[in-house]
């Protein structure tokens, strides 16, 4: 019955939405240029060479953030009045909502602590929401009285420039600015005491030189970056200069953020507020614990006692599961490799992943769910989905649940590298996508379907890797930001 409603709702909803749009004043149009090269000739079309089409469409942007009407107020936590405590306000901007529940839980726990040294306020924005002028004004107003700004995965250029302009206005007044992997224009905003990335991209930048050396010494730049994040704080800890310590705290901040759990985020807020908010720094700062580190890449299963670095250890655990029925114990059962985003796992934003795993196993398919902390999944697919002895794949098919290109994610893609990794696997590769820029209801009721930015990032780009059959498998609750499962993937299993 549920699936029936998911199929029928778009048609009724779309008609109603179209009627409302036709009767309403026309909003300002947004133009998108889409170029596609068809690999096969559609039925009824003229036969010949590959057809290439370029389509320009003017799209009326109804509602907040072009196609989404979610509001940052659902990500706002305001502490109760307490004149004895200094107030620390944190504003953050992210690509997706996976940090929402974890950040909210962290701040609520900080404010519930009777020994707290400060009252924390937080508000979060999804970057796509900043297209809306009212929301953008609210964002700038929040920055005007904020202490700390945090940004992550801001890769849509026009929105990155809006973030840059707003934060730049408030940067000198802000006590700390933390920007994690994003476009250089936004990364240059980083400010933590004497630490800055204003010279990012220039040859004289010390971080540029450090990353350049790591890139030259490793075939996998993403892996070397993650190793740097793990080792650099231990080195900088023993250097006396303020610059070294500020750089160390930036790397620690990145560790906390990548860790993503409420405990890690609590300690991030304690460390940054205690070190850089003047009232708290003058009082001696706030004690915090070191980051809880998770594997940068590995295998994760919701029922497993741990994450696994070794595929043989995972398979040994899988083969001894007491909950597994006869179908999962069948040596001829199909095996599906799943590609997951680490951030969803460590933040606990994993309900859609759990649902896919449970559904596939209920139908008798074994799963090897792999993850990576960076944006390059080509290495993990080789380490965890291919038998190192025989060179043959463990899996019959691979399904990416990230929605992104295999190498580069929403940032800079490397399609030849992705294709080379997938050719070694030589099994069907399907890219399923969770809704990112729309709520489930907005997607179902939309006359356009998927948001054009998501079509580009999570349909067009994965197809250049060789990904096929894009299907929307997960949506999000507009209030909590939590993901949920909406579409079956059982069609990938053999009959």
Domain boundaries of the chain, sorted by first residue: 72-282, 297-492
Model confidence band, residue 451 (pLDDT cutoffs 50, 70, 90): confident
3-state helix, strand, coil in the chain (%, to 5): 45, 20, 40
Percent above pLDDT 90 for the chain = 48
The tokens for 162 are 């809006």
Task: Give the model confidence (pLDDT) of 61-76 as tens digits.
Answer: 444 334 567 789 989 9
Task: Give the model confidence (pLDDT) of 122-171 as tens digits.
Answer: 999 999 899 989 999 999 999 999 999 999 989 888 999 999 999 999 99
Phi, psi of 174, rounded to the nearest 5 degrees: -65, 145
Judge whether residue 51 has pLDDT over 60: no
Are 148 and 116 in contact, with CB atoms under 8 Å apart?
no
E strand residue ranges, 362-434: 366-372, 397-400, 429-434
What is the crossing angle of helices 242-259 and 262-276, to 10°?
160
Model confidence band, residue 452 (pLDDT cutoffs 50, 70, 90): confident
CATH architecture of 297-492: 3-Layer(aba) Sandwich (3.40)
Are 70 and 42 in contact, with CB atoms under 8 Å apart?
no
What global pTM score does this model have? 0.76
Q: Residue 77's beta-bridge partner residues? A: 122
CA–CA separation, 187 and 102 (whole Å): 23
Quote the Cα angle for 466-468-473, to 5°. Answer: 135
Token pair 């107030």 is at which residue? 87
How far, in whole angstroms, is CA 198 from its chain's centroid? 25
- Sorted by sequence, the CB contacts under 8 Å of residue 152 that are 6+ apart come out as 92, 93, 94, 95, 99, 179, 180, 181, 182, 257
| Mean pLDDT comparison of 36-45, 256-265, 467-476, highest-scoring range | 256-265
Are 470 and 489 in contact, with CB atoms under 8 Å apart?
no
Task: Give the model confidence (pLDDT) of 162-199 as tens digits.
Answer: 999 999 999 999 999 999 988 889 999 999 998 888 76
Q: With b meaning 16 or more CB within 10 Å and e meaning fewer, what string describes 196-219? A: bbeebeeeebebeeebeeeeeeee
Model confidence band, residue 54 (pLDDT cutoffs 50, 70, 90): very low
Find the mean pLDDT for residues 287-307. 94
Are 425 and 381 in contact, with CB atoms under 8 Å apart?
yes
The tokens for 273 are 């507020």
CA–CA separation, 8 and 13 (whole Å): 9
Cα-atom radius of gyration of the chain, to the nearest Å? 24
DSSP 8-state class, residue 120: E
CA end-to-end distance (rounded Å), the chain:
23
């Amino acid at each position: 019955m549920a699936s029936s409603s998911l199929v029928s709702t778009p048609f009724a909803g779309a008609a109603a939405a179209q009627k409302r749009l036709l009767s309403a004043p026309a909003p300002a149009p947004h133009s998108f240029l889409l170029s596609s090269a068809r690999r096969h000739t559609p039925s009824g079309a003229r036969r010949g060479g590959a057809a290439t089409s370029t389509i320009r469409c003017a799209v009326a942007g109804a509602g907040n953030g072009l196609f989404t009407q979610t509001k940052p107020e659902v990500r706002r936590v305001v502490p109760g009045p307490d004149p004895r405590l200094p107030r620390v306000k944190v504003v953050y901007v992210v690509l997706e909502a996976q940090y929402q529940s974890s950040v909210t839980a962290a701040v609520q726990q900080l404010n519930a602590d009777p020994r707290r040294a400060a009252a924390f306020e937080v508000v979060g924005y999804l970057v796509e929401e900043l297209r809306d002028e009212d929301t953008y004004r609210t964002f700038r107003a929040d920055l005007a009285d904020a202490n700390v700004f945090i940004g992550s995965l801001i890769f849509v250029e026009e929105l990155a420039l809006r973030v840059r302009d707003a934060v730049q206005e408030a940067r000198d007044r802000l006590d700390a600015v933390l920007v994690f992997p994003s476009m250089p224009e936004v990364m240059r905003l980083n400010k933590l005491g004497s630490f800055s990335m204003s010279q990012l991209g220039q040859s004289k930048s010390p971080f540029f030189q450090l990353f350049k050396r790591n890139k030259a010494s490793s075939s996998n730049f993403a892996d070397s970056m993650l190793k740097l994040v793990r080792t650099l704080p231990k080195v900088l800890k023993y250097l006396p200069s303020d610059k070294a310590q500020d750089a160390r705290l930036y790397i620690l901040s990145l560790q906390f953020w990548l860790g993503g759990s409420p405990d890690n985020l609590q300690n991030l807020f304690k460390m940054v507020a205690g070190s850089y908010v003047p009232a708290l720094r003058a009082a001696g700062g706030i004690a915090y614990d070191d980051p809880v580190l998770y594997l940068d890449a590995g295998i994760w299963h919701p029922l497993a006692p741990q994450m696994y670095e070794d595929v043989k250890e995972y398979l040994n655990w899988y083969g001894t599961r007491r909950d597994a029925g006869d179908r999962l114990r069948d040596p001829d059962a199909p095996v599906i490799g799943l590609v997951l985003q680490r951030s969803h796992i460590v933040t606990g934003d994993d309900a859609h992943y759990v649902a896919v795993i449970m559904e596939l196993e209920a139908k008798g398919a074994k799963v090897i769910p792999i993850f990576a902390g960076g944006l390059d999944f080509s290495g993990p697919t080789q380490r965890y989905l291919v038998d190192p002895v025989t060179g043959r794949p463990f899996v019959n098919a691979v399904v990416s649940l990230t929605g992104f290109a295999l190498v580069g994610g929403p940032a800079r893609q490397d399609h030849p590298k992705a294709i080379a990794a997938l050719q070694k696997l030589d099994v069907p590769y399907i890219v399923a996508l969770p809704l990112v820029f729309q709520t489930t209801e907005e997607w179902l009721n939309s006359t356009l379907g998927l948001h054009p930015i998501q079509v580009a990032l999570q349909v067009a780009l994965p197809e250049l890797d060789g990904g096929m059959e894009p299907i929307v498998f997960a949506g999000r609750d507009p209030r909590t930001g939590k993901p949920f499962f909406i579409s079956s993937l059982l069609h990938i299993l053999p009959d």
